[in-house]
Amino acid sequence: MITLALSKGRIYDETLPLLAAAGIEVLEDPEKSRKLILPTNQPGVRVVLVRATDVPTYVEYGGADLGVTGKDTLIEHGGQGLYQPLDLNIARCRVSVAVRADFDYATAVRQGSRLRVATKYTAIARDFFAGKGVHVDLIKLYGSMELAPLTGLADAIVDLVSTGNTLKANQLVEVERIMDISSRLVVNQAALKLKQRAIQPILDAFTNAVSSPASPS
Ligand code: PRT
Ligand code: MG
């Protein structure tokens, strides 16, 4: 049995076409079912639904053989024990620094002030500001980062941005782009060896689907 870990939402939605390219069809809609294990049209392949941040952990410890996870999540996890064969080029966004429109970020950084930065992405934020020589106090949050500068909890946030609409709706401005993000296929290293005959065709189909995307409909 091959187990693929996915998170509900954009990663699940954007992985479905890749699965279809590998001849795999999920037989239940996670938005309509409460099941956490979803069968597929292939008796040897199943999908498990986990929180986005738990996908690398499931694959690391063998709770799943394969998974799809954002590069952001992978960096924060550390990636240990995971084979990362493929950038799937899906769920694209960027990690950015954002502040209140009335906060003078450039001057704060130039004057070497200590910045208070709220984020779920503490590893990415720590590396980024260390590289710039900016002193930061990191405040770990698990969601709704946009609220932190608005309530005075922090001067800045480090968060994912795609359209920028969420920042705009909260009167925040993006002042630096830290890195581009897309989702990766991750594979348990032992599974890759022990179940290679089942896993390799999935890897090959994903690779082909990513390098020759279907024409826009
Ligand atoms: O939502 P939940 O707390 O359950 O988990 P999660 O946020 O970890 O998972 P999910 O499914 O929201 O995100 C999974 C992965 O999708 C992330 O790890 C990223 O790699 C990728 N991704 C791509 C995004 C976005 N685009 C994105 N826009 N993840 C989150 N967002 C957020 C963004 O931070 C903002 O709050 O969506 C909101 C809308 O963005 P704008 O800029 O389009 O307004
Ligand atoms: Mg989310």
Class of domain 2-91+182-211: alpha beta
Cα–Cα nearest to 71, from 164, 190, 192, 186: 186
pLDDT of residue 128: 98
Ligand 1 atom closest to residue 146's alpha carbon, by position in its atom list: 36
Beta bridge partners of 83: 187
How far does the centroid of ligand 1 lie from the alpha carbon of residue 164, in Å? 12
Sorting pLDDT into bands at 50, 70 and 90, what band is 113?
confident
The CATH topology of domain 93-181 is: D-Maltodextrin-Binding Protein; domain 2 (3.40.190)
pLDDT of residue 55: 98
How far does the centroid of ligand 2 lie from the alpha carbon of residue 12, in Å? 13
Atom 22 (ligand 1): residue with closest C-alpha? 91
Residue 202 has pLDDT above 80, yes or no: yes
Ligand 1 atom closest to residue 163's alpha carbon, by position in its atom list: 43
Q: How far apart are CA 152 and CA 131, in angstroms?
A: 25
Asked whether this chain's domains 2-91+182-211 and 93-181 adopt the same fold, the reply is yes
Sorting pLDDT into bands at 50, 70 and 90, what band is 139?
very high
How far does the centroid of ligand 1 lie from the alpha carbon of residue 145, in Å? 12
Q: Give the predicted TM-score (pTM) of the model.
A: 0.95
What type of residue sits at position 195? K
Tokens of 98: 């954002």
Burial class (CB in 10 A: 0-12, 13-18, 19+), 196: exposed
Helix, coil or strand: residue 114: coil
How far does the centroid of ligand 2 lie from the alpha carbon of residue 144, in Å? 9
pLDDT (tens digit, 9 = 90+) per residue, 26-54? 999 999 999 999 999 999 999 999 999 99
In the chain, domain spans? 2-91+182-211, 93-181
What type of residue sits at position 188? N
Ligand that comes closest to the CA of residue 121: 1
pLDDT of residue 112: 85
